[in-house]
């Protein structure tokens, strides 16, 4: 068995990995066991009872976290000239079209979210090979292909995130930073979990929420007691 580091031993003295904890307890514990020098990301890993290989069991959506994720989100808006001013006023970091398409084709992806308008999707679609694997491809379902670019930029900047189940049936999503209060972590996590609960595919049978773990960038996962979440 691998030797436990001092930090790992210290973390294990604060909680029992084999036990389930309420979301409120876990939100406090995750702060206690995070010892990184940087402001670590707090993440939820939610294993669902779905088969994502089947189109009718794909779970994806968007949620506006009440306290954001504690990170400055870099937004690129790809649009025609008539929408540029609206995007800039809303706070987009980069606005344009052809020059950014050329940059992305050359490998530039130093952005977190891309928002575009339907009339330029034909051009943006060429970038699927670069953007798809990085989860950056705009999508009408996540609100990133829209005529209302100002509203979309505002929502993303305010803490709206999109999530999607991976091929193993797990949703990974950030719900804040270690510097957040335990209450803010809990409220963000609840918002995400309850949003996912409303998206249960009718084709999914049996237990929908198989397991929920809360962790930080370098910590082990804390098992959440699902019965502690109201409305689940």
Encode pLDDT of 74-88 as tens digits: 999 999 999 999 999
Q: Measured between alpha carbons, how far is 151 from 145 in angstroms, rounded to an integer?
A: 12
**Average pLDDT of span 17-28:** 95
pLDDT-derived band at 1, boundaries 50, 70, 90:
very low
Encode pLDDT of 44-100 as tens digits: 999 999 999 999 999 999 898 999 988 889 999 999 999 999 999 999 999 999 999
- Going along the chain from its start, the domains and CATH numbers come out as 17-69+161-228 (3.30.190.20), 75-158 (3.40.50.790)
Q: Measured between alpha carbons, how far is 166 from 110 in angstroms, rounded to an integer?
A: 23
Which residues have CB under 8 Å from 36's CB, separation 6+? 178, 216, 217, 218
From the list 195, 203, 210, 207, the residue with the least C-alpha distance to 163 is: 195
pLDDT for residue 183 is more than 70: yes
Residue 14's alpha-carbon distances to 3, 29, 38, 162, 225, in angstroms, are 18, 7, 21, 32, 17
Total-model pTM: 0.77
**Separate counts of helices (H) and strands (E) for the chain:** 8, 10
């Amino acid at each position: 068995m691998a030797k436990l580091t001092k930090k790992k031993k210290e973390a294990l003295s604060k909680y029992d990995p084999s036990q389930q904890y309420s979301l409120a307890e876990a939100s406090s514990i995750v702060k206690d066991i995070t010892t990184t020098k940087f402001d670590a990301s707090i993440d939820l890993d939610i294993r669902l009872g779905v088969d994502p290989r089947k189109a009718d069991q794909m779970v994806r959506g968007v949620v506006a976290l009440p306290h954001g994720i504690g990170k400055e989100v870099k937004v690129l808006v790809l649009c025609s000239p008539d929408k540029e001013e609206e995007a800039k006023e809303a706070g987009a970091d980069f606005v344009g079209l052809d020059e950014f398409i050329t940059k992305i084709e050359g490998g530039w992806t130093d952005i977190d979210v891309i928002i575009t308008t339907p009339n330029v999707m034909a051009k943006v679609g060429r970038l699927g090979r670069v953007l798809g694997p990085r989860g950056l491809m705009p999508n009408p379902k996540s609100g990133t292909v829209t005529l209302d670019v100002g509203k979309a930029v505002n929502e993303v900047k305010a803490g709206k995130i999109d999530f999607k189940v991976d091929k193993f049936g797990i949703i990974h999503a950030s719900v804040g930073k270690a510097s957040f209060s335990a209450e803010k972590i809990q409220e963000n996590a609840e918002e995400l979990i309850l949003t996912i609960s409303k998206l249960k595919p009718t084709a999914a049978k049996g237990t929908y929420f198989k397991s929920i773990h809360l962790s930080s960038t370098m910590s082990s996962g804390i098992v959440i007691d699902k019965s502690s979440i109201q409305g689940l």
